[in-house]
Amino acid sequence: MKNTIFPNANHFQIPRALYVGAWKVWFKRFSDHGSWRQGTMPIINSDDKLYQLIESHKRFSVQVLNRLMVPWAYRDTEQVNQAFFLMNVDMVKRVKGDDDSTVYARLTDQALDYWDGLTYLEQDLFTAYAEARIQADIETPSQEPVVIDDAGLALIGEDIYPPIIPEKNAPDEAYAEALVAWIDEDPFTPMYQRLPAGESVSSWHDRLQAFFWPKPRNGLMQVSHSADALMYRAQILAEGIESSIPWTEEDKDMAVKTAHEIFLQAGVPQKDVTWENVYHVMQASISADPNSTAKMNSGWSLLASFSTHWLNNHDNRTPMLCWNSRVATSVISRLDFLMVEAGYTSLEGRFPHIGTVPGVGGTRPREYSLQWPDGYRSWKTQVAASEFVNLMVRCLNNSRNEDGSLKYQPMPIPTGGSAPWSIQGVQLVLFSDGY
């Protein structure tokens, strides 16, 4: 018992522990949590698109669960059929309901025994990975939004007026400084399923300390612990590319495994995770190539960020930001307001490549006054957004009060102490701000 296989997704595989964890999470979020072990879930044989299944109230189904486990390219196609049950006979089985019109499924005894044999730490890890599938950007081949979270959408305004409004034609650094000052003073309440998940805080320092993913129990320390190992491996591979050292077979295997684990942690499974595709993304990332044809979406953008963290505070280098819907929403919604207050009625060629990323949930989408371009899967947007947020990083690290002291607290380190702000620390604050 190693992997769960999805034959209709080109035989994509996930760890069996992730599937059991997802089953448990689906009962917790959409049914009776206490009955997940012996409980049954409707199968729902359907080739409807994922958003249609959600709109018809089918989220508590094996069909929707399976669709969220596979990469985005397969999420609008049938993922529960005879082959799925035959290939996963020791994981899930069909059972009859009280009426003949609905067919259900439940976990097998072997699957439950396997789960019980895991440590509590392993169980917590895989339920967190499953929760991430719900909380992450849910991409599909369709342009229609998918809202799996049971809280639905909310549109809210900002809490305070920005303390700094730049002059209309001020340099980009002035807009970055204004955005940093606004976020620092704006009260922030951590939110989970659109409900408060902690006390309100302010300042970049306290916002980062309040970060969690994908649920409140997984705070900054837990997230950093798992991310650090992935960043370390990504750095080794990226430095090899930087030094023009050919990858060995071991490097190629590590590249594929590292990428898969990054996508797993973020809840954004990808197809075509080959060593060549990982190489091209890393190569484009360390060179900040806006014309790259390498893979790009919310998942590959995170790989780009992990692969360039070692470039923080290097002169004339641009560590990559993870430009997903939450980060894009935070930056663009605030930049949009600042520009309008500064006198813009259209973008007028300003920030031409900073573009939107589709995403719904929490307070997304937000209304903009200006017509921002589409930045989805765009390396031009990836690089331009990274360059702008790096201006914010420099502002956080270098702005000083009249007495010469630092204006902003240094970045908190999960194990204690502090360090200069990095683009990875800033993007976590923006990620929460863009919920």
Average pLDDT of each block of 10 consecutive residues along the chain (435 residues)? 92 97 96 94 96 95 98 97 96 83 92 97 95 93 86 62 96 98 94 87 96 94 93 98 98 98 96 97 98 97 98 94 97 97 96 94 89 97 98 97 96 92 97 94
Please give the pLDDT value at position 416: 87
Please give the pLDDT value at position 400: 96
| pLDDT tens-digit readout, 182-231 | 999 999 999 888 788 889 999 999 999 999 999 999 999 999 998 999 99
Residue entry with tokens 């307001």: 337
Which of 304, 309, 312 has the alpha carbon at shortest distance from 383?
A: 304
Please give the pLDDT value at position 97: 73
Q: How far is CA 314 from CA 166, 227, 308, in A?
A: 27, 21, 11
3-state SS track over 249-263: HHHHHHHHHHHHHHH
Overall residue count recorded for the chain in this entry:
435
Please give the pLDDT value at position 102: 78
Please give the pLDDT value at position 159: 66
Please give the pLDDT value at position 365: 86
Please give the pLDDT value at position 96: 83
Please give the pLDDT value at position 152: 63
Give the domain ranges of the chain.
Answer: 3-135, 172-433
pTM equals 0.93
Please give the pLDDT value at position 245: 97
